[in-house]
């Protein structure tokens, strides 16, 4: 699996919206694009796809923009990546949604297929069990750690 720019920008935009204070209302495409450094025209197409899939809602006009259509804890990264980039499988013969037989004499004993199935399952497990809420929480924790002052004196060495 390789995350395309479309998938990357879509996930970043959704994380941006998930981390937004709901009291601020919807976010415009230009606000999200500026904050995430995404080309506006490309982001418009991505947000439209996410809206059509039911992950976003939009409101036109002044004070309008995009907002999540579901709580952040109900949107997984797996949903988003599959929607924007297609199957997670690194090769078609291990895909659940876009399976294609391989040229191996026996799929059940093919070493490459067995390994890529493990890769696909590991990727799916992480992405399908990580929500936008999980990601925003991790970002907040990382920001808190980064904003703490450095300890004084000699740095401690990790115990072995």
159 occurs within a structural domain? no
156 occurs within a structural domain? no
pLDDT of residue 83: 96
Residue among 7, 100, 94, 95 at smallest CA distance from 45: 7
Cα gap 115→78, rounded to integer Å: 20
Q: What is the CATH number of the domain that holds 105?
A: 1.10.10.10
End-to-end CA distance of the chain: 36
Q: Confirm if 67 and 86 have CB atoms less than 8 A apart.
A: no
Helix (H, G, I), strand (E, B) or coil at 86: coil
pTM of this structure: 0.85
pLDDT of residue 67: 94
Q: pLDDT tens-digit profile of 68-121?
A: 999 999 999 999 999 999 999 999 999 988 899 888 889 889 999 999 999 999
Residue among 1, 129, 147, 10 at smallest CA distance from 74: 129
55 occurs within a structural domain? yes
91 occurs within a structural domain? yes
158 occurs within a structural domain? no
pLDDT above 80: residue 35: yes
Number of domain units in the chain: 1
79 occurs within a structural domain? yes
63 occurs within a structural domain? yes
User: Which domain range does residue 10 map to?
Assistant: 5-147
Higher pLDDT, 159 or 129: 129
* Strands (E) located in 33-149: 56-59, 65-68
**Which residues are CB-contacts of 147 (< 8 A; sequence separation ≥ 6)?**
none
64 occurs within a structural domain? yes
């Amino acid at each position: 699996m390789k995350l395309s720019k479309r998938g990357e920008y879509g996930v970043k935009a959704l994380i941006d919206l998930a981390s937004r204070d709901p009291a601020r209302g919807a976010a415009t495409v230009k606000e999200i694009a500026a904050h995430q450094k995404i080309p506006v025209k490309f982001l418009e197409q991505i947000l439209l796809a996410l809206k059509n899939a039911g992950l976003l809602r939009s409101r036109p006009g002044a004070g309008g923009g995009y907002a999540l259509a579901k709580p952040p804890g109900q949107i997984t990264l797996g949903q988003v990546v599959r929607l924007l980039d297609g199957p997670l499988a690194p090769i078609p013969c291990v895909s659940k949604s876009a399976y294609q037989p391989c040229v191996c004499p026996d799929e059940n004993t093919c070493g490459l297929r067995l390994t890529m199935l493990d890769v696909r399952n590991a990727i799916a497990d992480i992405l399908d069990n990580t929500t936008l809420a999980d990601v925003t929480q991790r970002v907040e924790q990382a920001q808190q750690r980064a904003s703490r002052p450095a300890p004084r004196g000699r740095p401690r060495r990790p115990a072995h």
